[in-house]
Amino acid sequence: MQFIGTAPSHDLTYSDVFLVPSRSTVRSRLDVSLAPGDGTGATLPLVSANMNSVTGPRLAAALARRGGLGVLPQDMPLQDLDAAIRWVKEQPVAFDTPVAFGPEASVADALAVLPPVDGHGLVVLDAHGAFLGCMAATRLAHAQPDAQLVDLLHGSLTAFEEEDLGDGRHAFDTMVAAELDYAPVLRHGHLIGTISRTGALRSTIYEPAVDAHGRLRVAAAIGINGDVAAKASALAAAGVDVLVLDTAHGHQEGMLAAIRTVKALRLGVPIVAGNVVTEHAVRNLVEAGADILKVGVGPGAMCTTRMMTAVGRPQFSAVLETAAAARELGAHVWADGGVRYPRDVALALAAGAASVMVGSWFAGTIEAPGRLEADADGRLFKQSWGMASTKAVQERFGRLDAFELARRTLFAEGISSSRIYLNPLRPSLEDLLDMITSGVRSSLTYAGARDLAEFHERAVVGTQSAAGYEEGKALPVSW
């Protein structure tokens, strides 16, 4: 990456910079590879943040199916993490995970996890897990909230046998011919997944991130305190593909010791460690055994660290410096936090990040863990909160005595409650992935790059004023 003109002497963040188009020989945006090449097996440079409101097993499976990686948060009890990892590994790769309800569930139960939008649907299973029927999510909009789903199944949609669908193109055409936008997929009469037209289309564009056994990949985080070796070993035994060692101040002795401990276990999975923002920290953490550095102090949407402590660093420069240092050492960087538009992802990758970690943006999706709520205007949202917020600290340390809990709560550095609204046009994680990857694929072709290594090499970046940034925004109403 190079700056157009002279490189600025002060630190920059994503909004301060823009990409300059260069002469290109790349003829199509579909000729571009977005594989991070960081040893995680991901084929898409997107990682979901290890936040309770962001990454649950459902979101992790959906993300891995399209090539990214979900990081399950360290706050989940170990047995829940174990179950979540195993659950992700059991999910279909070629089809979507069914949104399933038991025979007792009501329309209100369904609306708490699934908005009545096109392209989505739900299945109803009997008490033994056998498939009873399905319905389009849009049906929920016109039903009484207390109606039982099972009573709405008459005229149930068609279900396909797996072999009738074939490859993504054939599956898409089959659904168009059947005038269906959503359908369950059966194998010998047993439910193995669901499919939508967009899902069929996506399967021709994305490549799932799968392990050596063809199962979806998943990452999990652990903190630096407690029995780090026991936790890391337990997660590896459950089948985790990437381990993330995470704390607010990653450049500390406690982190270096934790990395050394996990490295010595030789678990055969990449070790991600952070958060850091300097070249010096990269050198120390890689020396201790980290393969990937998680970079970002203070850019996160739920994060109050910069205002509380003045500590941090504008994220574009943090990524640029750490990625250069990591590259020299054969390590990689994940740019963590502060991403609000596809352009921010493109800029992090141009600065040299292998992958980009997204938190709050993904919290407002159907696949995120929270329940759907509606505000006074009927707009749907999910709750989100920071992992260092009072809420998170109280949940994490709830088992401690009142004095210890109060002491730790004093040091909160995050927002406890925030509403992340679902984008009505892009309510699902996969809709956001489509938007982000189409933007980033386009960024690469503007730079004349076929893959992320070339993109980083060829990217030309300029700095802009606040007015320059403003000019780039679309106008929803006339001026």
Ligand X SMILES: Nc1nc2c(ncn2[C@@H]2O[C@H](COP(=O)(O)O)[C@@H](O)[C@H]2O)c(=O)[nH]1
Ligand Y SMILES: NC(=O)C1=CN([C@@H]2O[C@H](COP(=O)(O)OP(=O)(O)OC[C@H]3O[C@@H](n4cnc5c(N)ncnc54)[C@H](OP(=O)(O)O)[C@@H]3O)[C@@H](O)[C@H]2O)C=CC1
Cβ contact 276:323 at 8 Å: no
| Distance in Å, CB of 107 to ligand Y, minimum | 36
Classify strands 17-20 and 460-463 as parallel, antiparallel or unpaired.
antiparallel
| Distance in Å, CB of 79 to ligand Y, minimum | 19
Q: Is residue 298 part of an annotated ligand binding site?
A: yes
Classify strands 69-72 and 46-48 as parallel, antiparallel or unpaired.
parallel
275 counts as binding ligand X under rule CB under 6 A = yes
CB burial of residue 263 (10 Å; 0-12, 13-18, 19+): middle
- Give 322-351 as a 3 state SS string: HHHHHHHCCCEEEEECCCCCHHHHHHHHHC
Stretch near ligand X under the rule CB under 6 A, chosen from 172-180, 256-264, 356-364, 455-463: 356-364
461 counts as binding ligand X under rule CB under 6 A = no
DSSP label of 54: T
Stretch near ligand Y under the rule CB under 6 A, chosen from 105-113, 242-250, 359-367, 432-440: 242-250
338 counts as binding ligand X under rule CB under 6 A = yes
Query: What is the distance between the alpha carbons of residues 345 and 402, in angstroms, rounded to a whole number?
Result: 42
Site residues (CB under 6 A) for ligand X, limited to 124-153: none
Q: Is residue 246 part of an annotated ligand binding site?
A: yes
Residue 383 phi/psi, 5-degree rounding, is -75, 145
| Distance in Å, CB of 94 to ligand Y, minimum | 33
418 counts as binding ligand X under rule CB under 6 A = no
Q: Per-residue b/e over 319-347, b at no fewer than 16 CB within 10 Å?
A: bbbbbbbbbeeebbbbbbbbbebbbbbbb
Classify strands 219-222 and 242-246 as parallel, antiparallel or unpaired.
parallel
| Distance in Å, CB of 232 to ligand X, minimum | 19
Residue 302 near which of ligand Y, K ion, ligand X, none (CB within 5-8 Å, type-dependent): ligand X
Q: Is residue 248 part of an annotated ligand binding site?
A: yes
231 counts as binding ligand Y under rule CB under 6 A = no
386 counts as binding ligand X under rule CB under 6 A = yes
Cβ contact 118:181 at 8 Å: yes
Q: Is residue 47 part of an annotated ligand binding site?
A: no
Stretch near ligand X under the rule CB under 6 A, chosen from 194-202, 255-263, 283-291, 296-304: 296-304
Q: Which residue numbers belong to the known binding site for NAD(+)? A: 246-248, 296-298
**Binding residues for ligand X (CB under 6 A):** 49, 51, 275, 296, 300-303, 305, 336-339, 357-361, 386-389, 413-414
